[in-house]
Amino acid sequence: MRLVFAGTPEVAVPALDALLASDRHEVVAVVTRPDAPAGRGRRLVASPVAQRAEEAGIEVLKPAKPREPDFLARLREIAPDCCPVVAYGALLPKAALEIPAHGWVNLHFSLLPAWRGAAPVQHAILAGDEVTGASTFLIEEGLDSGPVFGVLTEQVRPTDTSGDLLTRLAFAGSGLLLATMDGIEDGTLKAVQQPADGISLAPKINVEDAQLDWSAPALRVDRVVRGCAPAPGAWTLFRGERLKVMSVAPAPDRTGLAPGEIAAAKNSLHVGTGSHAVELLWVQPQGKKPMKAADWARGVRIAAGERLGGA
């Protein structure tokens, strides 16, 4: 099939690579989000998908919005058979959905209908799911509601961050997306409607969602830290400034600390929660680089009774 691939971030690149390597399909163009400011200089930088497509010598389309008439006209000229999608980042209008003969097929990182939305991996970790996965489905105008072609499952490991889990799903999912393209092309694969039960939503995690509540149980604190890593990053307040909490370890043997109360030792740093304590492993003070939590604690000279989370 003639394919136009739609995707934007690094997590979409493994799927693009798998399609480029296929001897059954031809990726004739990619659709991605426009160049965005990045780095300290805030210079405009092309998306990872755009950069990979340019390396491969493929046409790159960067509409500000995919309903733009010029973009739709060019897509009609290209006349793709199918448009595989991975984390494109913009809603597709009906006019675009109708162009490819076999539609737009999305690789979504959950077992649909669970975790429909922008942040399925983060929400799976926040909810404590032991198993998640990826699904390929035909895009409709509804939110991740289209019929499903195929799924794969992936174990959620106890120490997984969202970044860890998303990386594994991106590589495993690339094979699922390629197999879906093969099945559509040879007519052996039919999409099945999602069940009406088991629907859950996974809206984008914002900075406010990532603030740690030290009165919550240690298990919840650990999930928020892992679910918000690497972005937007869990955080708390210390002496009125934000402190990013990059990794923690539950410390069930460490009790007697009030929620948010800090206990600093030579080589460790514990904080009380609503249950037992957690050990802070890595933190990032405002305006500084990540560092070991014990090193940070020595530098700021924590006083007895000081707490995280307060002003």
Q: In which element (H, E) is residue 299 found?
A: helix 293-300
Angle at 86 between CA 247 and CA 130, to 5 degrees: 45
* Alpha-carbon gap, residue 261 to 300, rounded angstroms: 15
Residue 110 among known ligand-binding residues: yes
Radius of gyration of the chain (CA): 22
* pLDDT tens-digit series, residues 22-80: 999 999 999 999 999 988 788 999 999 999 999 999 999 999 999 999 999 999 999 99
The pLDDT value recorded for residue 126 is 98
Residue 243 among known ligand-binding residues: no
From first to last of its 311 residues, what are the pLDDT tens digits of the chain? 999 999 999 999 999 999 999 999 999 999 999 999 988 788 999 999 999 999 999 999 999 999 999 999 999 999 999 999 999 999 999 999 999 999 999 999 999 999 999 999 999 999 999 999 999 999 998 899 999 999 999 999 999 999 999 999 999 999 999 999 999 999 999 999 999 999 999 999 999 999 999 999 999 999 999 999 999 999 999 999 999 999 999 999 998 999 999 999 989 999 999 999 999 999 999 999 999 999 999 999 998 889 999 75
- 13-20 vs 162-186: helix crossing angle, rounded to 10: 30
Q: Is the peptide bond before 14 cis (omega within 30 degrees of 0)?
A: no
The pLDDT value recorded for residue 38 is 84
Count Cα atoms within 13 angstroms, Cβ side, for 108.
Answer: 30
* pLDDT tens-digit series, residues 228-255: 999 999 999 999 999 999 999 999 999 8
Residue 290 among known ligand-binding residues: no
Residue 268 among known ligand-binding residues: no
Percent of the chain with pLDDT over 90: 95
Q: Which residues contact 277 (CB under 8 A, 6 or more apart)?
A: 218, 251, 254, 255, 257, 263, 270, 271
Ordered DSSP codes for 237-270: EETTEEEEEEEEEEETT---PPTTBEEE-SS-EE
Question: Which two structure tokens, joined as six digits, stand for 139?
Answer: 């895009």
